[in-house]
Structure 1
Amino acid sequence: MYPRLATRAEATVFTMVLTRGPVTRVEIARRSGLSSAAVTKAARPFIEAGYLEELQATERTTPGAGRPASPLTIRAQREFFTGVKITDDELIGVVTDLRAQPLVSARHPLDTMSPEGVLAALADLVAELLAADPAYRERCHWLGLAVSGDVDQVHGMVRYSPFLGWRQVPLARLAAEATGLNVTVENDVKSLTVAEQWFGEGVGASSFALVTVGTGIGCGLVVNDRVVPGWNGVAGEIGHIPVGGDEPECHCGGRGCVEAIAGAAPIVAAVRAATGDASLSIDAAIDVAHAGNTAAREVFARAGHAIGLGMAAMANLVGPERIIVTGDVQGLAAYDLFEEQINRSFTSQAFGAAADCRLLLRPRSFEQWARGAAAVAIQTHFSLQER
């Protein structure tokens, strides 16, 4: 078992090595404000337990710089974590190391969205993933689950997931009973945000936003190095910023929301109406627009306008250093149809220096969303428990 984080110094040192290592004690002290002695004391139990190790000392090149430094690094395969992204028709799972690097992945189709059916499929998927290597079963004790919708991470409750049709499902408890693992449950966008914060494009940025484009329009926020959970678990819902006046009606009960214009279902409905082809799927709608159909392209341009306005409103309120734009498969396949209008609307609506925020397009597969669920499990496992 790993040494429980007992002090803020231990949490600071371990997290810094995990997310930024290899890093020397001197650099940790400089970045954290801890004394060198405090850094050494905090690192010792993790070295003894095999979670951290010292690399070979690097030679100093500056005269009088002191002894060569021995960087600390994570022993990434000291422990493993399982992450699963739950969609309305499929489970996507990964096993990762301590740095949330996927080592093995698997998918399991769903023939039902009932919690009971999903949990049965989840137990099968987790068993398949952990059977890939005896070390996984031996050293994997945590499962992270990523679900769209309103999620209460503290209590492991899915309060409302419109795409799954779930309300008040105690998913963490049920999944723990089904798999025998410790379980964390988080909103899928927030999970991906944690992965970017600790292991991706957000490393080194004290403030950034992650915007997802696809079935819905989501947003995760990091401000002053902390993911913004929001009161009662709701924050960053730019998909429900009203940008379209009184129309169209949104599934949330509001009107004119970004998601009611730029979500996959509204886009399909609008392209069907514009082309007169009621059989179009989202993939076919994208193909029609790519083929040059003017009416279809206008639908996607309107969607891009709505997304850009929502992003600008968020940037004006929060002032992120960068915005990472990603999405599901359909969202990214259509991104070139959105991109020009997103950038134009964002730039025109963002106030002052907010318009200088960097927009980064970073494709992320569903396996990466599952990795986000594992990253939340890692963060939960190694976060300092307040006393």
Structure 2
Amino acid sequence: MTSLASGESVFTIVLSHGPLTRAQIAGRTGLSAAAVTKAVRPLMAAGYLVEGPGEGSRALGRPATLVRVDAGAAFFVGVKVTGDEIIAVLTDLCCRVRAAARLPLTGRAPERVLPVLTELVRELLTEADGFGVAVRGLGIAVSGDVDVDSAEGMVRYSPFLEWREVPLAGIAGTATGLPVTVENDVRALTVAEQWFGAGVGLDSFALVTVGAGIGCGLVVHGRVVSGAHGVAGELGHVSIDPDGPPCYCGNRGCVEAVAADPAIVRAVREVTGRPVTTPAEALELARAGDRGARQVYAAAGQAIGRAIGSVVNLLGPERVVISGEGLAAYDLFADGIRDAFAAAAFGTAAQCDVVTRPLPFEEWARGAAATAIQSFIGSATSATPVTSKEQSGVHQ
């Protein structure tokens, strides 16, 4: 492990669990005391980590020295782009939201989205000026296939935005003057949940989002998984019925073709003959007791439950968190999810903790800010390799 990776690991541990003593950091990361010191040193020199005596340790004699993140040392902007609007937040280094703003979109083409995004970022830069803290990075979360290893932050394909090969980080960086990190929106939200939400302290968990699409973020051995080609976790395009409805990806019976909002609206319209055009209208019809509409939601729940069962069988996460705007209809498909999951999960995999967690889009934007913080801390950490003796751990 290089000190670059060690620095990111140490920062994340202190951010999520701190303040901590250096010994506690070593215990949580598996690094030796020497490796912790080497990882902490550049972050302290830059002012991002600070230390001081902890409270409540007087009875032990010498007060423990705790390391913590200095929240006010830097600010960041996080942006979530949907098909209809852009939501942006200003956060501190602890990823606490200091200000938020949103603006509607008049179109989904990049030339329509970028001016709105730039306007929101400038508004939050003005807010940061009021705090007297510099903004060090911009994180942008979009749906679809994002090449996180591309220098241009390339959005390979975003079906909801109808984007292909858009070098978003390069364009946004030129427009805003900030270092830009671009990430898939579900993976960005997964980072936020790992740091501050339902995934804190877990070695492995999955975040399944239900709404305009069906997404899945995966954490394995404490790290968010993006895969070799950046498309790990595409749960929405797992085919559960080869004879099912067609999906825009070209296959049939994908989870997204059954359980995403557009699929539900389309199916409710077909089975009821009503001119339903929005998820809210479909939901209202089902809640009014329409049998056909309720059957559509039940089928959606079964599709989601089977998909979650597949994730649990393959990866064995400690927890599955269900979130997304589609949770507004959770009461209608909860039984379907539970029954299908129980049938699909193999053996003790059925003991996986499955929870729901409604999250507003500001939390998705906060996740985008978290990815910007990750990039920033990575660049702020020395790349000098840690020796094999230093990384051997404290339990020797």
Tell me how far apart the structure 2 counterparts of residues 295 and 79 of structure 1 sit (CA, whole Å).
Answer: 53
Report the residue type matching 1:273 in the other structure: E
Question: Which of 274, 278, 288 is the equivalent residue of 1:277?
Answer: 274
- 1:46 to partner: Cα distance: 2.9
Secondary structure of the structure 2 residue equivalent to 1:369:
helix
CA deviation after TM superposition for structure 1 residue 121, in Å: 1.1
Report how far residue 37 of structure 1 moved. 4.7
Structure 1 equivalent of residue 160 of structure 2: 163
Distance 1:359 1:88, change over 3 A: same
> How many angstroms does 1:38 deviate by?
4.2
For residue 322 of structure 2, what is the aligned residue in structure 1? 325
* 1:132-211 paired onto structure 2 within 5 Å: 132-134=127-129, 138-155=133-150, 156-211=153-208
Which of 260, 263, 269 does residue 263 from structure 1 map onto?
A: 260
| TM-score of the superposed pair, with normalisation by structure 1 | 0.93
Deviation at 1:24, TM superposition (A): 1.3
Cα offsets for 1:46-104 (capped at 9, x unmatched): 33432222243334488xx6633122111112111101111111110001111212111
Q: Which of 303, 322, 345 does residue 306 from structure 1 map onto?
A: 303
SS of 2:53's equivalent in the other structure is coil
2:164 match: secondary structure:
strand
* Letter of the structure 1 residue corresponding to residue 242 of structure 2: G
How far the C-alpha of 1:335 sits from its partner, in A, is 1.2
Q: Encode CA deviations 1:232-260: one digit per residue, 9 max, x unaligned.
A: 11111111111123221001100010100
Q: 1:93 matched to which residue of 2?
A: 88
**Greater relative contact order, per chain length (Cα 8 Å cut-off, separation 6+):** 2
d(CA) in 1 for partners of 2:34, 2:162: 53
Count of matched residue positions in the alignment of Structure 1 and Structure 2: 379
CA distance in 2, matches of 1:375, 1:271: 38
Structure 2, unpaired ranges of 5+: 385-396
Once the two structures are superposed, residues 205-264 of structure 1 have per-residue CA deviations (whole angstroms, 9 ceiling, x without a partner) of 111000000011100101111111112111111111111232210011000101000011
Are the equivalent residues in 1 in contact too, given 2:7–2:377 (CA < 8 A)?
A: no
Secondary structure of residue in 2 paired with 1:348: helix
Instruction: Give the RMSD, CA atoms, in angstroms.
Output: 2.0
Structure-to-structure mapping, 1:1-387, within 5 angstroms:
6-60=3-57, 67-134=62-129, 138-155=133-150, 156-328=153-325, 331-383=326-378
TM-score, normalised via structure 2 length: 0.91
Tell me: CA distance 1:208–1:279, structure 2 relative to 1, closer, same or farther (3 Å): closer
Q: Distance in 1 between matches of 2:382 and 2:130?
A: 27
User: Residues 289, 58 of structure 1: CA spacing in aligned structure 2 closer, same or farther, 3 A cutoff?
Assistant: same
Task: Judge which range, 139-148 or 52-61, deviates more.
Answer: 52-61
Runs of 5+ consecutive residues of structure 1 not aligned to the other structure: none
Q: Contact (CA 8 Å) 1:99, 1:199: kept in 2 or not?
A: no
Which whole-Å CA distance do the structure 2 matches of 1:154 and 1:22 have between them?
32
- Between the aligned partners of 1:37 and 1:147, the Cα distance in structure 2 is 39
Contact 1:100 1:199 in 2 (8 A): no
Rate the CA distance shift 1:262–1:207 in 2: closer, same or farther, 3 A.
Answer: same
Question: Structure 2: how far apart are the matches of 1:274 and 1:267?
Answer: 11
Please state how far the C-alpha of 1:352 moved relative to its aligned partner: 1.1
